[in-house]
Homo-oligomer: A and B are copies of this chain.
Amino acid sequence: MERKRMDCPALPPGWKKEEVIRKSGLSAGKSDVYYYSPTGKKFRSKPQLARYLGNTVDLACFDFRTGKMMPSKLQKNKQRLRNDNFSLSKVWYITEVFRYYVFYVLTNGVFCFSLFWEKRLKGLRSSDVTEEVLKTMELPKGLQSVGPDMSDETLLSAIASALHMSSAPITGQTSTAAEKNPAIWLNTSQPLCKAFIVTDEDIREQELKVHQARRSLEEALMADGLARAAETTRDIDGKVA
């Protein structure tokens, strides 16, 4: 997030906190947190910090990453919370997060999936391509730190989990849908993440990339003998339209 040393109210006066994002490698996007004593000494971990401060400061519930005191650290409790009292700012935040999430699956997910089959069918080793592409398909972690306050993370997790991991049976209302115009739900506002504020040019670029990926994919499928299956599907299309 920042390369700047910030005051840290949870520590004695004069202590600073710094967060540095990793730029490359397997852990690109992750960050390292450092603290600086009033004299400028750098600390890279909580144990190191605790050794230095000794018993002058109680770090039992100090969260090294956020720099805040987290009373929950003392409790081993799991948070299966379904509280009735979430605030309206959370309503707003979650709405944004969900919209962003759908948006993410739709854009990056589909794009990467097309890319995957394209490469796969061109003869690249399956396992390599799989590893590579699957890495790009997750829900970005960075999103979780964007909200108005930290406690929103629990709700976001709960929603994202329920969306994909529930084991309840299928229900009725999935039987109708509006495939032909899904865009109607996605035009109200920008996503929260700065990285996802896009210009019209970005959009044109991405459209082009995806069109090309899809075209390549379809050509590859055809060339590999799926013409018959495609033919069948077209028949169905015809009858429905």
Q: Is A168 at the interface (CB under 8 A from chain B)? A: yes
- A59-90 interface with B by 8 A CB criterion: 82-84, 86, 88-89
| Contact, CB under 8 Å: B190 / A203 | no
- Nearest residue (CB) in B for A234 is B189
Q: How far is the CA of A200 from the CA of B86 in the complex (A)?
A: 40
Specify which of B52, B190, B198 is in contact with A127 (CB 8 Å cutoff): B52
Shortest CB distance A81–B (Å): 10
Contact assessment for A137 and B162 in the assembled complex, using a CB-CB cutoff below 8 Å? yes
B189 and A170: CB pair below 8 A?
no
Residues in B with CB closer than 8 Å to A203 are: 176-181
Picked from B143, B166, B189, the residue with its CB within 8 Å of the CB of A138 is B166
Contact A103 B179 (CB under 8 A): yes
Q: From residue 177 to 213 of chain A, which have CB atoms closer than 8 A to chain B?
A: 177-191, 195-200, 202-203, 205-207, 210-211
Question: Which of chain B's residues has its CB closest to A138's CB?
Answer: B166
Number of interface residues of A (CB under 8 A): 111
Q: A83-B126, A134-B51 are known contacts. Are A177 and B198 too (CB-CB below 8 A)? A: yes
Complex interface: stretch among A1-9, A12-20, A23-31? A23-31
A55: CB under 8 A from chain B?
Answer: yes
Nearest CB of chain B from residue A199's CB, rounded to whole Å: 7
Q: How close is A65's CB to chain B, nearest CB, in angstroms?
A: 16
Q: Which one of B28, B108, B134, B188 lies within 8 Å of A177 (CB-CB)?
A: B108
14 pairs of residues in contact across A and B, judged by CB atoms under 8 Å: A26-B168, A26-B169, A53-B127, A56-B127, A98-B113, A103-B179, A134-B162, A138-B168, A160-B164, A176-B202, A178-B202, A181-B183, A185-B214, A188-B218
